[in-house]
Structures are given as C-alpha cells and as structure tokens.
Amino acid sequence: SLLLCCQGFDALSRLTTMRLCCSSASEDLGCRRGDFSRKHYGSVELLISSDADGAIQRAGRFRVENGSSDEPMDYTPGIWRRTDVHLENPEYHTRWFFKYFLGKVHQNYVGTDAEKNPFYLSVVLSDQNNQRVPQYRAILWRKTGTLKISLPYSPTKTLSVKSILSAMNLDRFEKGPREILNPEIQKDLLVLEEQEGSVNFKFGVLYAKDGQLTDDEMFSNETGSESFDKFLNLLGDTISLQGWAGYRGGLDTKNDTTGMNSIYTVYQGHELMFHVSTMLPYSKENKQQVERKRHIGNDIVTIVFQFQEGEDTSPSFKPSMIRSHFTHIFALVRYNSQNDSYRLKLFSEESVPLFGPPLPSPPVFTDHQEFRDFLLVKLINGEKATLETPTFAQKRQRTLDMLIRSLYQDLIPDLHKNMLNRRSFSDVLPESPKSARKKEEARQAEFVRIGQALKLKTIVRGDAPTSLVTTGLCRKEPWESQSFCSTFSYETVCADSWGQSLLVATEAAGVMMIDDAQVLPPVQVFDKTMVVKQMHVLEPQDLLITRTDKGKDARLYVFRLSMLKRGLEERQLVRTKCDSRENKLEKTKGCHLYSINTHHGSELRIVAAIRNKLLLITRKQPRPNGMGTLAAATDLPVDQFQYIREICLCETPVVMALVDGPTGENDNMICVAYKHQFDLINESTGDAYRLHHVDANRVNFVAAIDVYEDGEAGLLLCYNYICSYKKVCPFNGSTPMIQSNASDFHFSWNQMPNAIVCAFPYILAFTTDSIEIRLVVNGNLVYTAVVPELQLTASRSDIYFVSSAPVNSASNCSSQDTSSQSSPQTPTGYEMPVFPSPLGDGEAQCKHIFKIPLSNLVGRSIERPLKSPLVNKVVTGLTAQVPSMCVAPAGPLMQGASHTLSLSRMEIKEIASRTRKELLGAVLGGPAGASAPVTTILWPP
C-alpha cells in the first residue's frame, strides 16, 4: 500500500511540478549583499557626568553599544545564534611565523626599499594543515607593520624572491634582498611578530554598589556581594597567587603584595587574568585606593559590575565616572536578581575600530554560559581592536621601526663577510645541486634545531598562539558546507541555483541539472553545442539569461524557465544551439561580459560589454490581461527586452556591477574596472567618474560587489589581495559626490581570491585551495578552511563550490580533545571540516560539489521552493526517462527507490495534502493545460 501511495503521488506530481518555483531570488540577494548598518555596533556620543558634589567630570566621546535604544522595560531576553560569536583575527591563523616558520626549514631575506628603509622577508613552502596541499607563505616585515600572503605552489614554476615581493607591491629596492643564513635570526623575527600583541589578556573588574557615582566610591568597596561572587565564578576559577606558574597579568606571585587570590581562566587557548577590585589590596588610609587603580586603571578593558534588584532606578554609569587615561573600553554588567539575568552595555572610545560580536537587542542574557561566551569574546576582540587605535599603533610602529633598524645594523658586518647570500629562492629548495646538498642539509638541521628550541621555550613561557590546540567541543559554524553532489565527472564553467537544484554549465556535456536529493543522475538541459560561459537564473521573473560562446560568436540568450521545465517534464527535450536561435538578443553579438542589477524589484536591467562598448538593456513589464493577471507567456522572451543606449568606454571592462540609485530616476550607475582603476558610469548620460585608482604594477581585478549601508549604496572593490569599501553617494544632477568618507575602509586577504561572495555579516574569498572568511564590517579574519582545487560555481542564492576532495564527515568535530588543559568552565572552540588529500596517482579523478546554505550565513529564514524544478524525484521503476548520455548504473536508481519507500506515513499524508491544495489552486486558476502561470504557494518544510 505504501508503494501504491507513492505511485499515486508520482502521478499527481507530474501535474503539479510544472508550477513556477517562485523563491524570491531578489530577497535572497538583498540578504546576501547585506543591507547592513554600523549602528548595530553602537553610535558615538559625547558623555558628560558630574560627581557627588555636582562638579562636572571630564567629557569624552565614546561609541555606546546598548543593543537597542528604545527597548521597553518589560524586555524579553535577547536571542542570537551562538555561531555569531567569533574570535576575530585569532592568533592560530594570524601568528604565521610561530605556526608555519619557526622550527621548520624556511628562508629569511633582508633588503632596503627605495626610501632606504630596511625590510625582512620570510618565505616557507608549507603544507596546509598536513593535507598535501603545498603553498608558499610569505611575511614581509616593515616598520609600518607586517604583510602576510599565500601563493599557490606549482611544481614546474618556482617563485623568485623578486616575484614574491612584487606580489606584495614592493618592486623598487635600494639594495636587493639577500638571504640571512644565521639561524639566530629566528629569535629576532619572533620578537617582531610578538609586537602584534599578546596572546594572553588581563581585564579589570570593578564592583560598584547601587548609587555610587565616583571612582573613589567604587574602588573603596572593601568586599563584594553574593551576586558579585556569582559573577566572578562565572568568569573563571579562583586561584591562589602564591607560587602561581601560569599567566599572572602583572600580579605578584611571590610576596602577596597584590592580594592573595585572583580570578583566572583559559578561553580558546588564551590565558585570562582578571584584576578584581575587591581582591586587590584595600587601604583605609588611602581614599583613592591607588594600589587598586594601579592595576585596573592600566587595563585596556574594564568590566563594571552593578547589582540591580527589580526596576533599574540607579544612575546610569558613564566612563567619565572613572578617571583613567589608559582604559579604552568599559563593559557595564548589571545583574537582575528577579529574573536571574545579565544586561550588557559597552562603552568604547571613539578611536577604537568596530569589533564584534554586536549586542543582541535587547542585550539581556538569561543563559549564563552563553553570556560568558559572548562577554569573553567581546572583551578579547575589543582589546585587539584597541591596539589599532592611533595611540597604540604609533607606539607599535616606533617600536617596530627601532627593532628592524637595530637588527639591520647588527647584520651590516655580515654584508662584508658574505654571510648574507645572494642566491635565489629556488636554490634553497629540496632541488639543490648534489654537490651542495650535504652542506645545505647540515645547515638546515641546525636551523631547525634552534627554531624548535625557540618554539618550545615560547610554549613553556605561555606566549604560544594555541587558540585551537586546546579545544575539543564540536560546534557547527555558519559556513559549514554540505555535500550536494558526491561525484560529478565534468569540468564546470559556471552555475546557478534553480529552486533547490543546480544548473551547471560544463565544458564537455553542455548544461546539466543536478538534483539536490541526488535521486536521479544529472539531467542534460542543453547539449554541448551551447557553450555557456555565464548564466543567471531569475525565478521570480521566469527567466534564464546566458552568455554563450566566445569571441565574435558570443551572444546573450534569454529563456523562459517554465518552457525549459515543460520540455524536461513532458518530452525530456535536450535543447541545442540550433533550437535556441529565437532566444538570442541580436545586438549582443561579440559580448564578452554582462551584468544584471541585483535589486531588481521594479525593473530588470542588463549591461552587456562588447569590447569597449556598453549596451544597456531593460525588460518591459509584462502586460496584464483582462482578468487582472499577467498575460500568457506566448510571446518570445526576447520580445520583452528593449535596448536603451550605448556607452563607449576608453578601455575594455574586466569587471562590471550595476548600482541602483536611491530614486531610480537618472541616478542608476555602472561600476566598471579596467587598466588600473574603477570608474562609475552614469547610466543616463554615459559620463564616467573616477572612483578608485589602483597603485600597483599588476592588477588582477576580482569583483565589484554592491552593498547597501542604511539604504545608501556602497561598493566593495576587490583586486589583488585588497578589498576596499567605498561609499557611493547619489548623483547630484550630473556630478556624483565621490569623496573620502569616514566609513570607507580596506583590508587585505592572505591569499589572492579568484572570487568573492558577500553574505552579511561575512565576506568569503575563494582562492585556489582555501576559503577565507572575514567580517564585512571591519575585514577581520574569523576562519580559513582548506579546500583542495577549489572553484566557486554559484553564489546568487546558496553558495556552491567544487573541490577535488570529499568532506570527511568525521572531521566535523575536532579530533583533538585536550580540553583538560583548560579551566573546567571554559567553553571550547570548533575546527572546520578537514578536506582530505586529493586522490593518488592512477585513481579516477572526480569532482565533489558542496553547498553552504545562505540562511546559515545571514541568520534569517529564506523561503525556498517546495520541489526542485528537476524531473520527478520519485522513481517508480528502472525505466525512468533520462538522456542516454546520463544513464547511471542501477545502484543509484535503487537507492532512489529505497529513499522513496523510507517516507513515513505522516510525510505521505502531508505530501498528499499539499498536492490536493495545489491541484485545487490550479483548477480554480484556470483550465488544465492553460499556459497562464499558476500562483505558487510555498509550504513550510
């Protein structure tokens, strides 16, 4: 009976799967592009307060993070996803010299630039996480800071020092780089890296009683309270300072001069020591409690704890209540005894860059463990951000400049002793000549021995970046990938999602449709005569847009999705280039690139680039019929498009993006990239304006991504290793307002991207063998995943990528469980799924397609179509109609049948109910077989 029921459903589904799957792609894009706001991270306010005597305290400008400024008193606890809480720029991924260089064979070079400033270059040929994915890592040490990049490894082309420096935009030298053979250089370079900041942190904790308004009152609290003790127990463990061997945070561990006890914990490999006001020495004679202020006042981050019973009637805390010239961040924690919750408020000096995670709204936490996790990550990220303020950055730059010049002076005598070698980078790789191999091996052995001793000493000292070494908790991250197709035997060119399936253009087999459930093998939609290079599936508009062929034969084609679907479902028709002659947009001959507007709520716009000419095309609005619905789709889809104008450029564009103006009336723009610049083109007038100039000898343009901040257009300009955000103000008449904006910023990738996807709050760079994940708002790194032979294929909705290696499901959890080294209360972290090494010699090479759901990244529910646009998933026998070239062995088909038979009775009942409702909708909407579109009802999964 179960089989009969499934067969009955199969018959019904043949009538209903012809409906148009109207998932809102435009809404998906709006979420992915990110209509974001920096207001989530607070707003800058001028704070003034008065002391108990009414005297005005010093004023200061602070960014106040309060979650929400208009929240009601009867609040509900804030809700956020735990995966939103990330350590930014974790040491495990940013302290490259310690992790990848120290104690391993690598090369170090010294030189001076055109301004006679010395620099150092460290290069290593390393394996990414022991997964047999070799790559070059390079660190450039300069007085302005360090630059880190990764370069792909090629067994047939060895990189030279000059080419590595050129990739770092350093092409001119006063003195060419020479290799430093002395192994002691590792110690000096480790000192340079440690200038980036400590891996361990000390935070102040100040207990404030209700109504206390001055720092003297707060620091004079001799003891705490029951609620304060509860909060301290949440932060960490009470340890005895006498004889303490761990990180001490400046406290006395011999003579008890800074108290007998303190609060300590380990969080994701970071040792945290808390300077607690009530645990530091108290003096009855000293009203200012100088000993306490000496520690807490010198902490970059201070927590102010207040007890709240019932309604909050106490005066609001302000940073000006505490006289400190060193503390940059105050975290106000208020404990409410009535509902056992914590409320968090952050004050950051105006100069501190934005840092996450943003506070939930309202910023109230009832889950104490989640509050601890959020608070500690916020404090660590805050201290790291503070080190980038001008005060600390200038001090660090002076120190770095002094260290680099001092080290260079020490190396000058070696210039005359030939201790600095001029040999090229390729000469010191394993391919060294046999005559010099023994000598080189002995030198390398001594080099490694000294490096390993330094590494061990750093670990024993507690300054090792081990943020992921001491973790073991399995936790899903929003960028975690899912297997979409385990084996795909064709090279992909481009792709786009259609419903919950994937339309893939291949080199050898045309365009294929892959089902998300993998019940059927890939279905051919177009044969190999259609050489598709670019495509967009626009489900709300029932359109497929493609760019086909290359050179003079290239053209744009437009198809109706409903017609393609009908051909697949009824006749299993595979379309050819000859069948598609009526789908050509005639004036697009020779098109080498095209772009569409992503926020096409009212009108679809296309810009096609034909050499240095831009062709603007729009789609006419469908005509309503007499019944008030859209007219039947009887006309050719090309008839719905009209040509607006041609715009001639000075160069052939490499990257294009359409930018919607705020009104849509003569203020839409086109961003084009060519030569060494990004330009803005006014769609109405064709006038070009310089947006950004790239100061580099070689420019590899990657993308121009439209993002919107508080409704105002902005662009992420991506080229080489750089991603630069530019606010695009609207056109004022014929002149755009292009000028430096306070919100403009830029950051560098570690590896040159081939493609970039923005999914707010994240931005993902896809390189040859990794996915680098950062935050859009500040460019800070949160993770790097190793993916061998990576290729991004689609990203307009969910993100799809291809790799040569499968995901090991067992690796979703960390294989290292050494959490016993941490505090018992310390939540541990998460390791990305490990991509095993590619197949060995002689084994069949296959491709694996993975999917990262957009809803996981953007943190909101996005409607999806109920069914795939692919042919019926239910397989009732081995005579399923598939193209002859796509026939698969019986195994997958039998697997599909067993998948069908595994449906529960409740699922079958739900499917039958949905089908009846859809059929009723189709009958009420018009006679069977009518060509008018059927309204789609999206049922919840």
Average pLDDT over residues 235-257: 92
Sheet-wide strand order for 511-514: 492-498, 501-506, 511-514, 523-526
pLDDT-based confidence at 27, cuts 50/70/90? very low
Query: Which of 400, 419, 438 is at the close of a domain?
Result: 419
Structure confidence at residue 736 (pLDDT): 53
The two tokens of residue 894 are 């039998």
142 in the same domain as 46: no
Q: What is the mean pLDDT of residues 585-611?
A: 87
In sequence order, the 6+-apart residues with CB closer than 8 A to the CB of 813 are 474, 831
DSSP 437: H
Whether residue 379 has pLDDT greater than 60? yes
Q: pLDDT band at residue 530, thresholds of 50, 70 and 90?
A: very high
Task: Calculate mean pLDDT across residues 440-447.
Answer: 85
In a domain, 636, yes or no: no
Between residues 752 and 917, the one the model is more confident about: 752
CA 299/CA 198 separation, integer angstroms: 13
Q: Is the pLDDT of residue 713 over 50?
A: yes
* CATH code for the domain in which residue 336 is found: 3.40.50.11210
- 287 shares a domain with 143: no
Residues 366 and 344 in one domain: yes
* Helix 890-901 with 2-16: angle, nearest 10 deg: 100
With CA atoms as reference, report the closest residue to 387 among 247, 204, 198. Answer: 198
Q: Is 126 in the same domain as 269?
A: no
For residue 624, tell me if it sits in a domain: no
| Domain final position from 365, 388, 411 | 388
| pLDDT exceeds 80 at position 423 | no
Lowest mean pLDDT among 433-437, 481-485, 584-588, 678-682: 433-437
Q: What is the pLDDT of residue 348?
A: 92
> How far, in Å, are 263, 308, 337, 346, 795 from residue 340 at the CA level?
22, 10, 5, 20, 43
Say what the pLDDT of residue 314 is.
59
**Domain boundaries, position 133:** 95-196+392-419
Residue 787 inside a domain? The answer is no
The answer on 354 and 312 residing in a single domain is: yes
- With a cut of 50, say whether residue 899 has pLDDT above it: no
Name the residue with higher pLDDT: 532 or 929: 532
pTM comes to 0.81
What residues does 346 pair with on adjacent strands?
A: 65, 331
**pLDDT score of 457 more than 80:** yes
Q: Give the list of residues 6+ apart from residue 666 with CB closer than 8 angstroms, or none.
A: 682, 683, 684, 685, 731
Q: Which of 5-9, 39-43, 68-72, 641-645 comes out lowest in average pLDDT? A: 5-9
* Res. 898: pLDDT tops 90: no
Q: Are residues 340 and 351 in the same domain?
A: yes
Give 627-685 pLDDT, tens digit per residue.
Answer: 444 444 557 889 989 999 999 999 999 999 998 877 767 788 899 999 999 999 998 88
Q: What would the two tokens of residue 368 be?
A: 């104490």
**Pair (190, 297) in one structural domain:** no
Which distant-in-sequence residues (6+ apart) come within 8 Å of 809 by Cβ? 833
Confidence label for 476 from pLDDT (cuts 50, 70 and 90) = confident
User: Mean pLDDT across the stretch 875-897?
Assistant: 33
Q: Is residue 902 part of a domain?
A: no
Pairing of strands 60-65, 722-727: unpaired
Give a yes or no: residue 513 inside a domain.
no
Q: What angle do CA 612, 616, 617 make, to 5 degrees?
A: 140
CA–centroid distance for 459 within its chain: 30
Say if residues 351 and 389 touch (Cβ distance below 8 Å). Answer: yes
Do 255 and 378 have their domain in common? yes
The pLDDT of residue 14 is 34
CA distance 922 to 928: 7
Q: Which amino acid is at 86?
A: H
Q: Tell me: pLDDT of 305 over 80.
A: yes
Instruction: Report pLDDT for 18.
Output: 29
Separation between Cα atoms, residue 138 and residue 149, nearest integer Å = 6
Predicted local confidence at residue 10, as pLDDT: 40
Residues 499-511, mean pLDDT to the nearest whole number: 92
Give me the pLDDT at residue 463, please.
79
Q: What mean pLDDT is predicted for residues 136-152?
A: 91
- Going by the DSSP 8-state scheme, the letter that residue 412 receives in this structure is H
SS (H, E, C) 616-655: EEEECCCCECCCCCECCCCCCHHHHEEEEEEEECCCCCCE
In a domain, 433, yes or no: no
pLDDT at 515: 84
Amino acid 237: pLDDT? 95
What average pLDDT score do residues 274-281 get? Answer: 94
d(CA 156, CA 603): 50
Same structural domain for residues 368 and 321?
A: yes
Rounded average pLDDT over 720-739: 71
Tell me: do 243 and 306 sit in the same domain.
Answer: yes
End residue of a domain, out of 366, 388, 410: 388
Stated length of the chain: 941
CATH number at residue 166: 3.30.1120.160
Q: What angle do CA 788, 697, 692 make, to 5 degrees?
A: 90
Q: How far apart are CA 503 and CA 525, in angstroms?
A: 9
Residues 236, 372, single domain; the answer is yes
Please report the pLDDT score of residue 415 as a whole number: 63
Ranking 309-323, 572-586, 691-705, 816-830 by mean pLDDT, the lowest is 816-830
Q: What is the chain's mean pLDDT, rounded?
A: 76
Q: Say how many domains are in the chain.
A: 2
277: in domain? yes
CA dihedral over 543, 546, 552, 553, signed as positive or negative: negative
Whether the bond into 761 is cis, omega within 30 of 0: yes
Q: Is residue 279 part of a domain?
A: yes
> Bigger pLDDT: 591 or 472?
591
Per-residue confidence band for 774, with pLDDT thresholds at 50, 70 and 90: very high
Pair 139, 279 in one domain: no
Buried b (16+ CB within 10 A) or exposed e, 252-262: ebeeeebbeeb
129 pLDDT tier (thresholds 50, 70, 90): low
Q: How far apart are CA 458 and CA 186, in angstroms?
A: 12
